[in-house]
Structure 1
Amino acid sequence: MPSSIQKQYFRRVIIIFMISLAIATIGVFLGTVVPSQYFLPIKIIEVIMLIIAFFLRRKKGISYFFLFLFTFISGLSIYPILHQYVSSIGMQTILMTLIATTIIFIFIASYATITKKDFSFLGGILSIALLAFIIIAIIRIFWPLDDTSLLIYSFIGVLIFSGYILYDFNRLKKYGIKKRQIPTYTLNLYLDFINLFLNLLRLIGLLKDRK
């Protein structure tokens, strides 16, 4: 496929990614009027949609409607987390964390797209690390981690999703995408960004609590 077409698709991924973040932000703000008893069902819907997306991406990929619906629901599910951190570390710290996440994301994405190195080898490593990360997250529901273990867990989360940013952007640059894959790749980048932000936020929250 001509490189000009790939550049066009790449720009479209970035635009759709920014739209997805905007939709998620709307979801966060609307979360302020959602009764607390609805957040667990919302979280369950989010997880179910992630599982559906995992299977769809191996076939025909997800649709734009699915992507935007997921990011909206994701924004709703993030609200209780942010509300909790507002009371513990303050809105200013949350905004600074968001800015830091954006800077890290842009820096890694820029490096991944200009470097001549191929980071495809990270795919298997990151998949194993993410699986272990998810298993620990499930275990945490029944056996909460102490502060030190949670600090290490959060730091590892930052490394994993920083690695995924590097891997996903490098793969976009090296191998390109098809038009129908744009929503699926955008979802990958959205998950990279949001999970980097949440893990960085938890890490900073834990460090502030230790002072």
Structure 2
Amino acid sequence: MNQPYRATSIPASSSIEVDEGARKVLRNTWNLLAMTLAFSAIMAFVSMQLNWPHFGLLTLVGYFGLLFLTVALRNSAWGLVAVFALTGFMGATLGPILSFYLSAFSNGGQIVTAAFGTTAVAFFGLSGFALVTKKDFSFLGPMLFIGIWVAFFAGLAAYFFSMPALSLAVSAMFALLMSGLILFQTQQIVRGGERNYIMATVTLFVSIYNLFTSLLHLFGFAFGEE
């Protein structure tokens, strides 16, 4: 059984010490995240090849339904099945989005590549920083929670009322919020605040997904050539 994490003061000259439980959660999280990202990419490729239409609001229904299922099963082996169902579904919803950018813009491939590369750099950079920094970012939790819900409802308003300017603002908000969430969640694992690698994986996967799609929208607007 993992020993409970106990916060201790850290001298300025010392480095962050990660206990064995945190190392195990971090290792399991990154392994599962790599597998789910690969599975999601496969599902995105399948949906592109089958020319599936944009999922629209079905994306939210499927996401929240599978998310609640994953939360309910997070402490059992079935939780792994739920994680792959959730990430596979999200990958399938990504296929039509990628198809749009590749077909709507003459430089669509460059936009997708730029968004992917920026997402990868942001994830590894923020994760690496969370592993070595002595600064405690737990204060970000409430702000991220509120910010994500504000951005979510603003996104719904932009969708239903066809407000392109608001939609761009929401994408910028999500890009910043998801970057903060990657930093926050990784540090929660390191400092022992998150001991369930299934939920840690879901949080990081959703952060990466939303960061990537937000950057696609922003890059498409700024650099897209029809």
Q: 1:186 to 1:84 in 2, by over 3 A?
A: same
Q: 1:38 deviation in Å?
A: 8.4
Deviations 1:149-206 (A, max 9, x none): 333222111111001011101111112543xx11111111101111111111111111
Q: Give the letter for the 2:66 counterpart.
A: M
Q: 1:38 to 1:159 in 2, by over 3 A?
A: closer
Aligned length: 206
Deviations 1:72-108 (A, max 9, x none): 1111011111111112241122012101110011001
Q: 1:152 to 1:25 in 2, by over 3 A?
A: same
Contact 1:154 1:203 in 2 (8 A): yes
Residue 129 of structure 2 aligns to a residue in which SS? helix
Is 1:150 the counterpart of 2:167? The answer is yes
Q: Give the letter for the 2:209 counterpart.
A: I
| Paired residues for 1:134-173 under 5 Å | 134-147=152-165, 149-173=166-190
Residue of structure 2 in register with 1:82 after alignment: 98
Q: 1:46 deviation in Å?
A: 2.8
Q: Equivalent pairs: percent with the same residue?
A: 24
Q: Give the letter for the 1:156 counterpart.
A: M
Contact 2:39 2:88 in 1 (8 A): yes
Q: Which contiguous aligned blocks of 4+ residues in structure 1 show a shift greater than 4 angstroms? A: 59-62
| Paired residues for 1:45-194 under 5 Å | 45-53=62-70, 56=72, 60=75, 63-87=79-103, 88=105, 89-147=107-165, 149-178=166-195, 181-194=196-209
Say which one has the larger Rg: 2
Contact 2:182 2:204 in 1 (8 A): yes
Cα distance in 1 for residues equivalent to 2:101 and 2:37: 20
Residue of structure 1 in register with 2:15 after alignment: none
In the alignment, structure 1 segments of 5+ residues that lack a partner are none
Q: 1:121 deviation in Å?
A: 0.9
Cα distance in 1 for residues equivalent to 2:186 and 2:48: 34
Deviations 1:99-128 (A, max 9, x none): 111001100111111111111111110110
Cα distance in 2 for residues equivalent to 1:160 and 1:186: 17
Q: What's the TM-score once normalised by structure 1's chain length?
A: 0.87
Contact 1:97 1:201 in 2 (8 A): yes
Residue 98 of structure 2 aligns to a residue in which SS? helix
Cα distance in 2 for residues equivalent to 1:202 and 1:14: 27
Contact 1:126 1:164 in 2 (8 A): yes
In the alignment, structure 2 segments of 5+ residues that lack a partner are 4-18
Q: 1:137 to 1:37 in 2, by over 3 A?
A: same
Q: Give the letter for the 1:202 counterpart.
A: H
Question: As a proportion of its length, which structure holds more helix?
Answer: 1
Superposition CA RMSD, Å? 2.5
Q: 1:138 to 1:22 in 2, by over 3 A?
A: same
Q: What's the TM-score once normalised by structure 2's chain length?
A: 0.82
